[in-house]
Structure 1
Amino acid sequence: MMYKLFASACIGLAALGSTPIASADTWPSRPIVLLVPWAPGGSSDTIARILGEDLSRRLNTTVVVENKPGAGGTIGSAQLARAKPDGYTFMLGVSGDQVNAEFLYPNLSYSPSKDIVPVSTVAREAILIAGNAKLPAAGPQDMLALAGKQELSFGTSGIGSTGHLAGELLKRRAHAQLNAIPYKGNAPAITDAIAGHVDMVIASPVAVVEHVRTGSLKALAVTSAERIEQLPDVPTLKESGYDIEVNTWYMVVAPAKTPQDIVERMSAAVRESVASPAVHARITQIGAIPQASTPQEMGALLKDERTVWGKLIQEAGISAQ
């Protein structure tokens, strides 16, 4: 598919002492900062560094990855929202900080939907539902039949995380007795699931797959539309009869009022990067599915995601404060 890039000429000074309006004709002329609102070492950080390395070559500049973790991704997102919209600050966020935050944190200092604009998606990642070894269930039907008779607990990486919301959605769609137990990250949730302190864990496949392979946990279902490469024998919820599809989306965003020609050019660079064999392979290796988009396509995705998850968060009375 051919993508049309929009360019505009620098139109001079808006007022005495002001700087020229940024233009794709001269951009980039210095290093670009790519914020990550999560800690180093996680999937977001890894994808940002893969992308940043390739974009540095494509844009003929240095893309510097800076981690600004905390408060469910809202600290880094707030910094992005306040950044000068000159095309030199972007962020590699996830659907949690770009979709769920405005419903989970009623006192945010910024608006994800007004102060931040879409550039391109980068990849999506399924969520894996895994039970402890003693759970008498081999798949989603067994698990939900059991949850129809008794309450089952599931650990998640935190309040309002994609795993938490996937469990809440399944609870409502399947009329199951599922009780979310939020932890501070995937690791303690997985540890307690293995120990039997919670019945299941709903988390990123990357964090869980090795425990499934060793038999410490049993994979029950994935939430994507298709089965995942790492666990091809594990069914999806959809093929098991439940109309549920949940993904964590990785995405590049920019401060509002960033010149549209620069947004379009960065979007095109991201799409080219994600489509390249080297970047595609590296993203796939960590368990995500590469999938880039135009700003307009990403905007439509965000609108749909906010409708679904905003309604669920409000109905379930979920709050991170």
Structure 2
Amino acid sequence: MPAERPDAERWPIAAAMLPFLATTTSGTPVQDAGDEVWDAALAEVADAGFTEVDLTDSWVRPGDLSPQRLEALGRAVKGAGLHAEAISAIRRSVIDPESGDENLAYSHRTIDAAAALGASMVSVGLHRPLLPAQQQALWFWSVDGPHDRDDADTWRLAVTRLRELGEHAKSVGVGLTLEMYEDTLLGTADSAVRLVQDIGGGVGLNPDLGNMYRLPRVVEPFLEALAKCLPYTNYWHVKNYYRLEGVDSSSFLSAPAPMDSGSMNYRRAVKMALDAGFTGAFCVEHYGGDGLSVMARNRDYIRGLLRFDTSSRASREVL
């Protein structure tokens, strides 16, 4: 975690590329499309008022680009007036029983790509590709997905491989953060904290607790889980949901919401994070509808919270 707290107005708040499709209207993978396709998407992000972007690899996979194409991506980012704050590698678990070895190699390439782009952080997780039933659902989280095995060998493999990635990231001047996700070894606050403690070496947590809060089941209380994670947090995917529960905890409904109006109390959460010394970047996410506009609203909401915290701290110091 950086030692010095950024100014509220310059605190990095990155837009995730989740709202942008991986294929063009003609069916061409964005990965292989012309530079003008990248330019158009990134210009849209900049037009929404962002200065930082998280190159979520559901849009483009920087780790799979040739050196020439990676340079072109860097030019596109800079040409839009953006900074590549991070790369989030999604559903590339290094302990996936089928593709763990391949995902480990991909994660290493992603770290090198982040360094080449001047990004500060790479976010990885242990979640796996969506199952067919999840892909067919309106909201994929409403259908149960893959579960990690909870045994000593699986834990040891996760620690070994994530430590390897952490050492690589550190050697090229990039941070590594672990995204929390349900039914993985990063699926609860206690398990996630234990995992980063076992890994060591400065690998941190991305407490994307919205991934769990939206589930149609009993979940950890948001702020209680966050409090456990904050001492290890170095990057933060933030999003919110409306959540309804039956009085007997037998029924649950959730839907995406702007950060300021959903059921998760981010005013309190951001204050807790600042009090705990968090100085990392935020990455705003949203599913459904006009995701980019909601993310821009979320960015402004966070900026206001940071601005108030800065002024209130100054007032307390004067008093």
State the TM-score, normalized to the length of structure 2. Answer: 0.30
Greater strand proportion: 1
